[in-house]
């Protein structure tokens, strides 16, 4: 029996499905995390053969000892993964230390974490990228601004999401950036591209062939949400344009992604940039060698009528899964933020969208800054219903009034037929 170590298998909560799915195909699944065993999701406990609790997953010595314990007890570790951006580099260090040859080693990671190096791979795949410069001094950044004009977008060359990002609209803001930026952090500056984020997500086999694909549409972008403190709204679109599919598949090949989940971000341009891109162009943004964040894998499952976790396990086990995505839905998540009074109550939402809601709950605190605090996940057959759902969930009365929100963890609900559109029957009175 092959040994598969899952790092932090309890986060986010629905990742228990990785353990269940890997066990289904014959792996011995071993978990390392910092949550008490009795507090783990019951399904996660069911999926794990053994669990090793550490006090702090950031403590290298503790995690090294945990993997060493499993190796001494069960022999060689065949796979080690977290599918979580935060732990990618430590995952690779553990593979190096324990001679685990089935995943990325630390020497490989820069290509997948440095945005500047990602651009070369996008270009090799035939994908446009925004002109950029690594920020080393004010003089060179000023020259870049003179050449390409404002606005500019600056972010860490290695970073998760849109944390520590800056939109620079003029010379004064450029000067201010140098007083705000962190020391000892390498930043990258790009010409600002105005557009919606669309993603090419999925799972690649050992030969970098895409065995499952899905796509997110994210208006507005995460950076806009962070700057404005607005709610998150995005949706999984199972109907992928053939030309975009070609771009996505070529990008997976260019990056050499194998036996892993991926989440590749692109801009679909909404405002032309002279000499660079036109409206509708696809521009490469970044590659994440993991699942999309939060409960997004579950959205892809609901949109495509599949089990992404099982497809991953089948792929790792070399079973060449046959994926049939039918029926298809548009699956959306709309969030709310604590401290805002919304027009419709939780009960209103659950009653009005009774046939469409597939999940609701609170995001973990570590995700709430970007994602929001409370979320509602629903799926529809008619894309027009997406805007109705978003506007209903996010409609406000008194924005600064504190409210009480619903339960602390995600729950799921099976639904009846969803063939009828709600656009013509929706009423404000709920």
pLDDT of residue 260: 95
Q: What is the CATH number of the domain that holds 288?
A: 3.30.470.20
For 54-63, 69-78, 132-141, 159-168, which range has the lowest pLDDT when averaged over its residues?
159-168
| Same-domain check for residues 162 and 234 | no
pLDDT of residue 222: 58
pLDDT of 221 over the 70 cut: no
pLDDT of 250 over the 90 cut: yes
Helices assigned H by DSSP within 125-184: 138-148, 171-180
| Same-domain check for residues 219 and 143 | no
Q: What percent of the chain has pLDDT over 90?
A: 75
Query: Averaged over 288-308, what is the pLDDT?
Result: 95
pLDDT of residue 228: 59
Question: What contacts 136, CB < 8 A, 6 or more positions away?
Answer: none
Reported confidence tier of residue 165, pLDDT bands at 50, 70, 90:
confident
Q: Which among 311, 327, 343 is the end of a domain?
A: 327
Closest to 213 measured CA to CA, from 185, 189, 192, 242: 242
In a domain, 118, yes or no: no
Q: How many CB atoms lie within 10 A of CB 102?
A: 17
pLDDT of residue 182: 86
For the stretch 320-362, pLDDT in tens is 888 989 999 999 999 999 999 999 999 999 999 999 999 999 9
Q: Which among 279, 303, 327 is the end of a domain?
A: 327
In a domain, 251, yes or no: yes
Distance, CA of 260 to CA of 28 (rounded, Å): 18
Q: Which among 191, 224, 259 is the end of a domain?
A: 191
In a domain, 152, yes or no: yes
Q: What percent of the chain has pLDDT over 70?
A: 89
| Same-domain check for residues 218 and 282 | yes
In a domain, 126, yes or no: no
| Same-domain check for residues 316 and 201 | yes
Specify the pTM. 0.87
pLDDT of residue 420: 40
| Same-domain check for residues 206 and 323 | yes
pLDDT of residue 416: 39
| Same-domain check for residues 319 and 352 | no
pLDDT of residue 274: 79
| Same-domain check for residues 319 and 360 | no
For the stretch 387-413, pLDDT in tens is 999 999 999 986 544 444 444 455 555
Distance, CA of 383 to CA of 417 (rounded, Å): 16
Mean per-residue pLDDT of the chain: 89
Domain coverage including residue 49: 3-107
Q: What is the CATH number of the domain that holds 160?
A: 3.30.1490.20
Q: What is the CATH number of the domain that holds 70?
A: 3.40.50.20
Reported confidence tier of residue 160, pLDDT bands at 50, 70, 90:
low
Distance, CA of 9 to CA of 81 (rounded, Å): 9
Number of domains within the chain: 4
| Same-domain check for residues 248 and 318 | yes
pLDDT of 317 over the 90 cut: yes
In a domain, 67, yes or no: yes
In a domain, 170, yes or no: yes
| Same-domain check for residues 205 and 298 | yes
DSSP 276: T
Reported confidence tier of residue 415, pLDDT bands at 50, 70, 90:
very low
* Three-state helix/strand/coil letters over the chain: CCEEEEECCCCCHHHHHHHHHHHHCCCEEEEEECCCHHHCCHHHHHHCCEEEECCCCCCHHHHHHHHHHHHHHHCCCCEEECCCHHHHHHHHHHHHHCCCCCCCCHHHHHHHHCHHHHHHHHHHCCCEECCEEEECCHHHHHHHHHHHCCCEEEEECCCCCCCCCEEECCHHHHHHHHHHCCCCCCEEEEECCCEEEEEEEEEECCCCCEEEEECEEECCCHHHHHHHCCCCEEEECCCCCHHHHHHHHHHHHHHCCCCEEEEEEEEEECCCECCCECCCCEEEEEEECCCCCCCHHHHHHHHHCCCHHHHHHHHHCCCCCCCCCCCCCEEEEEEECCCCCECCCHHHHHHHCCCCEEEEEECCHHHHHHHCCEEEEEEECCCHHHHHHHHHHHCECCCCCCCCCCCCCCEECCCCCCCCCCCCCCCCCC
pLDDT of residue 366: 86
């Amino acid at each position: 029996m092959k040994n598969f170590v899952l790092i932090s298998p309890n986060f986010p909560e629905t990742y228990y499905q990785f353990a269940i799915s890997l066990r289904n195909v014959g792996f011995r699944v071993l978990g390392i995390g910092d949550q008490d065993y009795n507090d783990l999701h019951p399904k996660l406990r069911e999926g794990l053969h053994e669990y090793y609790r550490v006090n702090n997953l950031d403590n290298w010595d503790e995690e090294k000892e945990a993997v060493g314990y499993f190796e001494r007890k069960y022999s060689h570790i065949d796979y080690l993964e977290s599918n979580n951006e935060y732990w990618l580099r430590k995952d690779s260090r553990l593979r190096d230390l324990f001679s685990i040859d089935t995943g990325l080693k630390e020497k490989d990671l820069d290509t997948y974490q440095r945005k500047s190096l990602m651009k070369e791979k996008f270009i090799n795949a035939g994908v446009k990228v925004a002109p950029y410069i690594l920020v080393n001094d004010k003089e060179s950044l000023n020259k870049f601004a003179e050449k390409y004009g404002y606005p500019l977008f600056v972010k860490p060359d290695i970073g998760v999401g849109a944390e520590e990002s800056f939109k620079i609209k003029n010379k004064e803001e450029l000067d201010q950036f140098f007083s705000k930026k962190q020391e000892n952090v390498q930043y990258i500056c790009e010409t600002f591209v105005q557009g919606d984020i669309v993603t090419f997500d999925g799972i690649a086999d050992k030969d970098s062939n895409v065995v499952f694909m899905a796509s997110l549409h994210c208006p507005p972008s995460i950076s806009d949400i962070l700057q404005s403190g607005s709610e998150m709204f995005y949706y999984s679109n199972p109907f992928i344009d053939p030309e975009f599919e070609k771009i996505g598949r070529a990008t997976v090949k260019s990056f050499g992604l194998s036996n892993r989940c991926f989440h590749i971000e692109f801009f679909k341009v909404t405002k032309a940039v002279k000499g660079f891109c036109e409206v509708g162009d696809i521009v490469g943004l970044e590659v994440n060698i993991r699942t999309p964040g939060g409960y997004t894998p579950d959205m892809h499952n609901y949109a495509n009528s599949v089990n992404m976790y099982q497809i991953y396990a089948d792929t790792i086990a070399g079973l060449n899964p046959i994926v049939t995505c039918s029926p298809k839905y548009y699956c959306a998540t709309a969030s709310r933020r604590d401290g805002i009074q919304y027009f419709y109550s939780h009960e209103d939402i659950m009653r009005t969208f009774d046939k469409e809601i597939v999940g609701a709950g609170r995001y973990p605190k570590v995700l709430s800054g970007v994602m929001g605090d409370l979320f509602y996940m629903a799926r529809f057959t008619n894309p027009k219903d997406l805007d109705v759902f978003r506007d209903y969930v996010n409609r406000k009365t008194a924005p600064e009034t504190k409210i009480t929100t619903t339960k602390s963890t995600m729950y799921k609900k099976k639904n009846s037929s969803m063939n009828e559109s709600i656009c013509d029957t929706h009423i404000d009175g709920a």
